[in-house]
Amino acid sequence: MDNPMRRSCGPEILDSLPHDHPDAIHSRRDLRLVNAFMGNRRWFARTLPGLVRPGERVLELGSGTGEMGVALNALGIPVDGLDLCPRPRDWPAGSQWHQADLKGFQGYGAYAVVIGNLIFHQFTDSELAELGRALRRSARAVVASEPTRRRLSQSIMALVAPVLGANYVTLHDARVSIGAGFQGTELPRALGMDGDAWDCTCPSTGLGASRMVALRRP
């Protein structure tokens, strides 16, 4: 078994690089492989159809280059994006793209369903508490896939990533991301969604994903 790890947030190199920097482009390629390995896109595709009601739109936090949102929209799940990055060229014409900082975004009230893929771990507990206050005003479902915080995952990534051709950005950021990941119900607790008003499930997968579905009770 892993020894207990204290959650620790640190700067990730990818966040400091220009969007079109070659090392950033390479690292985003690596992230696509990581997401495929963890099965994140497939999990969102299975989970969201039963949660989104007619007429509702989904907001994806930290949409990045848009692969997740593009794929989900192609499946008929209406996803809008929120990220500091500019709107991707292939982003669906009928979907909105909010180029903004999610910590100061003023449009959460338009979304009953909010999702995040490998984004919540980038924030400290105090930042998550503030974000949670914003989301709880209008969201009735918050769905996330994050790294499970464990030393074994860090060791596996250190061994496997070079074999996959990952660059120094990915090697560094993967270790930092896992160290800032979640165990058990830590994420809904940090977001203030662990009280009587919410039902939360937070299973972890054998491939290193900590999955949260938080639903507001009727």
- Rounded CA separation 134/75 (Å): 28
The tens digit of pLDDT for each residue in 39-58 reads: 999 999 999 999 999 999 99
> Would the CA dihedral through 16, 22, 27, 32 be positive or negative?
positive
Amino acid at 124: T
Please give the pLDDT value at position 3: 53
Q: For the residues of 164-192, what is the DSSP string, one character each?
A: TT--HHHHHHHHHHHHT-B-TTHHHHHTT
The tens digit of pLDDT for each residue in 130-172 reads: 999 999 999 999 999 999 999 999 998 899 889 889 999 999 9
- Rounded CA separation 69/59 (Å): 9
* Topology, domain 39-148+182-216: Rossmann fold (3.40.50)
- Rounded CA separation 139/130 (Å): 14
**Stated pTM of the model:** 0.93
Amino acid at 176: V
- Rounded CA separation 139/150 (Å): 30
